[in-house]
Amino acid sequence: MRRAAPWIAVAALAAVPLLGIGKYPLHLLIMILLWSFVYTSWSLMGRFGLVSFGHGAFMGIGAYVVTMLWNHYGLTPWLGIPLGIALAVAVAVLIGYPCFRFRITGHYFALVTLALTEVARLVIVALRDQTGGSLGVTPKTALAGGESFSLYALQFADKAAFFYIALVCWLGALWVWRRVDRSMARYAMEAISQEEDAAASVGVNVTRTKLAITVLSAAMTALGGALYGQYQLYVNPDTVSGIGISLQIVFAVIAGGMYVQLGPTVGAVFTLLLAEGLRIAVGHDVHGLDTFIYGALLVIFIIYMPNGILGRILERWGRRGAAARAAAPAGSPG
């Protein structure tokens, strides 16, 4: 029965658009799924101590490459997305390889990635003739003639389609997370994050392992950025790149729980519902109120709950159920 529970949940989720829940809640769900996808991708690196402040760059690359190729050359996102991912991967390798090779870790690594995300944002703004600069850009619509969707343009008038795309991606991210968790790479990474030299001395190819995780994380994040652009039909350097986004990603994952499979998802739910909740409670968009609370909560979380909400809950459950589950097989998620 426990094995079946996740599948039932997925089926229930898949059925949601069919329940006619209305556009706005559906929109929220899509955002939650998309951001969970991005956050989970980030946490592949974060959980092993590779805290990156540069994922805004990958999202930005994904979003802008796809949109630019479509707007300027009419290139279908089906090709644009792989190209965007390829560029993100190239950047990840370009920055990652020297970092790992020269053992740049911890907050020095974070600072290099921070420089990276700012470079990405600045380049986007500087290329204002092509990208629209700070004002952002909208992918040209392929639905002008009243069609409900265009597979070629990867645009859908009906949110339900995006819901399923986001759902699939999210599930994919969870699957990848699980695979990494179970692989030798996981043990290698944990060894590395604790004591690099020792890990290297037992034959762990430190550079290659870190690079692999980084490439994976970057590729997925770029995909997330591209899908975000296709869904919102608007991209802007500050919403998909730059230090703001990077910090947002980090905060959400910390809040939800960095070391747990569903942690980033909980973080997405938490932050999005917080923003929406505040908007409803206050009645209108009070500039900065949600960030104000985010900031305070991030501080509180790091000090009192470094394992995040989900982590803390699991800890409690773990303690209570430890005796009862002493003989249980190691099959639970996270």
The end-to-end CA distance of the chain, in Å, is 18
Q: By CB under 8 A, which span of 106-114, 172-180, 274-282, 313-321 interacts with other proteins?
A: 106-114
One residue of 306, 318, 321, 333 binding other proteins per CB under 8 A? 306
Note whether 192 binds other proteins by CB under 8 A: no
CB 230 within 8 Å of CB 66: yes
- Distance in Å, CB of 193 to other proteins, minimum: 10
- Distance in Å, CB of 274 to other proteins, minimum: 12
Q: By CB under 8 A, which span of 55-63, 115-123, 138-146, 159-167 interacts with other proteins?
A: 115-123
> How distant, in Å, are the alpha carbons of 5, 48, 169, 334 from that of 180?
22, 11, 16, 11
One residue of 118, 210, 231, 308 binding other proteins per CB under 8 A? 118
Binding mask 252-281 for other proteins (x = CB under 8 A): --x---------------------------
- Beta carbon nearer to other proteins, 144 or 303: 303
- Beta carbon nearer to other proteins, 73 or 292: 292
- Beta carbon nearer to other proteins, 23 or 287: 287
- Distance in Å, CB of 247 to other proteins, minimum: 5
Q: By CB under 8 A, which span of 76-84, 117-125, 212-220, 323-331 interacts with other proteins?
A: 117-125
Note whether 90 binds other proteins by CB under 8 A: no
Sign of CA dihedral 265, 154, 82, 235: negative
Q: By CB under 8 A, which span of 19-27, 228-236, 238-246, 270-278 interacts with other proteins?
A: 238-246
One residue of 25, 74, 288, 333 binding other proteins per CB under 8 A? 288
Q: Count how many residues are written for the chain.
A: 334
Give the orientation angle of helix 206-232 with respect to helix 23-46, to 10 degrees: 170
How far is Cα 36 from Cα 263, in angstroms, rounded to an integer?
9
How far is Cα 160 from Cα 146, in angstroms, rounded to an integer?
17
Query: Could you give the residue ranges of the DSSP H alpha helices within the chain?
Result: 4-15, 23-46, 55-73, 77-101, 106-126, 128-131, 159-182, 184-194, 196-201, 206-232, 237-240, 242-256, 263-282, 289-304, 308-321
- Beta carbon nearer to other proteins, 14 or 104: 104
- Distance in Å, CB of 186 to other proteins, minimum: 19
DSSP letters, 269-309, are HHHHHHHHHHHHHHSS--TTHHHHHHHHHHHHHHHH-TTHH
Non-local (6+) Cβ contacts of 246 within 8 A are 52, 53, 54, 55, 56, 113, 114, 117
Q: Phi, psi (5° rounding) for residue 132?
A: 85, 0
The rounded Cα 44 to chain-centroid distance in angstroms is: 10
- Distance in Å, CB of 44 to other proteins, minimum: 16
Note whether 296 binds other proteins by CB under 8 A: yes
Q: By CB under 8 A, which span of 17-25, 92-100, 140-148, 202-210 interacts with other proteins?
A: 92-100
The rounded Cα 266 to chain-centroid distance in angstroms is: 12
> How distant, in Å, are the alpha carbons of 72, 91, 166, 214, 227 from that of 161?
25, 31, 9, 30, 12
One residue of 6, 98, 318, 333 binding other proteins per CB under 8 A? 98
- Beta carbon nearer to other proteins, 181 or 238: 238
Helix or strand (DSSP H, E) at 150:
strand 149-150
- Distance in Å, CB of 96 to other proteins, minimum: 11
Residues at the site binding other proteins, with contacts judged by CB under 8 A: 49, 51, 95, 98-99, 102-104, 106-108, 110-112, 114-116, 118-119, 122-123, 125-126, 242-244, 247, 250-251, 254, 286-292, 294-299, 301-303, 306
